[in-house]
Amino acid sequence: MPEINISLNRKGATASEAHIRNHSVVMDRPTEKGGEDQGPMGGETLLAALGGCFMSNLVAAAAARDIDLGDIDVAITGHLDGTPPVFNTIDMAVTGPAGIDDLEKLVTIAERGCIASNTLKQGLNVRVTTHTR
């Protein structure tokens, strides 16, 4: 079964740094939530990951069909509800220049190919274990 692995380390008083292949992302809480605002919150990063996954699939679908997307944008809004808060709805809005052939079809293909979108739509089990050094 294929896997994607990342690791995180504490960075400073409230932040964490995610290590992803040769990349890193710092996440933190805003100052009004007791953080040092060294990066986006985890929930914001989740939305960004969804958008990045979707956008990469959209670009690939267009390239496979020799379609130039030009300046294409994806805006994502996560709607929070409950205690503890959860995203109960996530809206993605795709905006591109007029005249892109089959934009709706490309969006459907991208949505179907996006690991993040597919996972969020079906839900998943999250298991947490503890270890000592």
Residue 97 has a pLDDT of: 87
Q: Identify the band that residue 10 occupies on the pLDDT scale cut at 50, 70 and 90.
A: very high
Q: Helices 42-64 & 115-122, crossing angle to 10 degrees?
A: 120
Percentage of the chain surpassing pLDDT 90?
88
Strand partners, 20: 23
Q: Could you read off the pLDDT of 77-104 as tens digits, one per residue? A: 999 999 999 999 999 999 998 888 799 9
Q: How far is CA 69 from CA 22, 33, 105, in A?
A: 28, 39, 13
Res 61: pLDDT: 96
